[in-house]
Amino acid sequence: MASNTLFLLPGDGIGTEIMAEVEKLIAHLNGSGATDFAYDKGLVGGCAYDAHGVAISEEDMGKALAADAVIFGAVGGPKWDDVPYDVRPEAGLLRLRKDLGLFANLRPAICYSALADASSLKKELVEGLDILIVRELTGGVYFGEPKEITDLGNGQKRAVDTQVYESYEIDRIARVAFDLAMTRGKKVHSADKKNVMKSGVLWDEVVKQAGRDYPEIDLHHILADNAAMQLVRNPKQFDVMVTDNLFGDILSDAAAMLTGSLGMLPSASLGAPDPATGKRKALYEPVHGSAPDIAGQGIANPIAMFASFAMALRYSFGMVDLAGKLETAISDVLEDGLRTGDIMQTGCRKVTTSEMGDAIIAKLG
Ligand code: IPM
Ligand code: MG
């Protein structure tokens, strides 16, 4: 029996195309003896809705809960714009995050040197950029109750979302950020809106309290709006940024674009360590979406998906060297001048999704 199990959820749009490359990668790694992965595949998002009328079936939820790691593609597309809110494609992803308890979302924004010119910021601002956004993923306004639209009966409606955090939720995400910062630049910026939000006041209080256990960490408070501005003004001032679910959603998109392409960036979503085994539930996904505009053409960029797989090797399976090898293979292929359409530059060779996947796999030897 294989020792490590993966559950692949390609999802919609380009999700299926980039996941096909992951399957080639797994076959290569297993074939070379480097890994012993067994995997199953399921449906999530619009395709699950088409098949089962829900964004993820109970059977697939069970498989996701049982696997050592979930590898996720992307969900959504205009085809499902009008499906009921509770079963919209994104609901599948949100349910996975919630039911697997994946409270810690790691979103690195790394600028590959071959792509520094592709950033919308000046090359000197982004060259060598290496930021890690640590986003709280199972709380805040995404899940807070009440969450509803009420008809006031006078021709008006009232919509409520609830931003709510308890101390333990803030404490555990702060500690993830501090632990990771200890392995990097030892600097953490905690972003909130404590100038207008009570949840921000508590956020800051709990982060500072947890920070006392990490005397080596250089901890800074930053208002979330200022964080957005500083990210595009001088991004290299940041090492690790920890923030709530909604601010993390927004700030990580901004950070991602600094690096030249959303198609490049991976993410890991981790749960708490199991008290008995020490293992964390985990889901790995590219930061980009399902890109319906280019779906089905075989031209999507598989790099963020591969980089997400590298994060799985590192965080779920302790295969740190193999993760590094895969990341080096990605940057080598970029240095060789291979580009998918989204990152195409003059003088480079434009390749398809599958050619890019093959080239990266070939570098692994
Ligand atoms: C993300 C996405 C999701 C989010 C959507 C698809 C629900 O934007 O992972 O950043 O808002 O969290
Ligand atoms: Mg987002």
- pLDDT band per the 50, 70, 90 thresholds, residue 15: very high
> What is the extent of the structural domain holding 236?
108-260
Residues with CB under 6 A from ligand 1: 90, 93, 249
pLDDT at 2 over 60: no
Percent of the chain exceeding pLDDT 90 equals 92
Together in a domain, 220 and 281: no
**CATH code (residue 233):** 3.40.718.10
249 is catalytic: yes
CA atoms within 13 A on the CB side of 306: 29
Q: Is 267 helix (H, G, I), strand (E, B) or coil?
A: strand
Together in a domain, 114 and 244: yes
Together in a domain, 217 and 309: no
Together in a domain, 22 and 115: no
Q: Which residue's CA lies nearest to atom 2 of ligand 1?
A: 249
- Predicted confidence (pLDDT) per residue in 291-333, tens digit: 999 999 999 999 999 999 999 999 999 999 999 999 999 999 9
- 246 alpha carbon, closest ligand: 1
Q: Which residue's CA lies nearest to atom 10 of ligand 1?
A: 249
The chain-wide mean pLDDT, for the chain, equals: 96
pLDDT at 1 over 70: no
332 is catalytic: no
Q: What is the count of structural domains for the chain? A: 2
User: Could you say which of 49, 142, 214, 315 is catalytic?
Assistant: 142
213 is catalytic: no
pLDDT at 261 over 80: no
Together in a domain, 225 and 125: yes
Of 9, 72, 93, 103, best ligand 1 pocket probe by most atoms within 8 Å of the beta carbon:
93
What pLDDT is recorded for position 70?
A: 98
Q: Where are the beta strands (DSSP E) in the chain?
A: 4-11, 37-41, 69-74, 104-110, 130-136, 144-151, 157-162, 187-192, 218-223, 240-243, 266-273, 280-286, 338-339, 349-350
Examine residue 305 and state whether it is found in any structural domain, yes or no: yes
Of 207, 229, 260, which marks where a domain is finished? 260
Together in a domain, 92 and 166: no
What pLDDT is recorded for position 263?
A: 77
pLDDT at 144 over 80: yes
Percent of the chain exceeding pLDDT 70 equals 99
Ligand 1 atom nearest residue 249's Cα:
10
Examine residue 265 and state whether it is found in any structural domain, yes or no: no
Of 142, 249, 269, best ligand 1 pocket probe by most atoms within 8 Å of the beta carbon:
249
- Predicted confidence (pLDDT) per residue in 90-136, tens digit: 999 999 999 999 999 999 999 988 888 888 899 999 999 999 999 99
Residue 249, both tokens: 């959603």
Examine residue 266 and state whether it is found in any structural domain, yes or no: no
- pLDDT band per the 50, 70, 90 thresholds, residue 237: very high
- 15 alpha carbon, closest ligand: 1
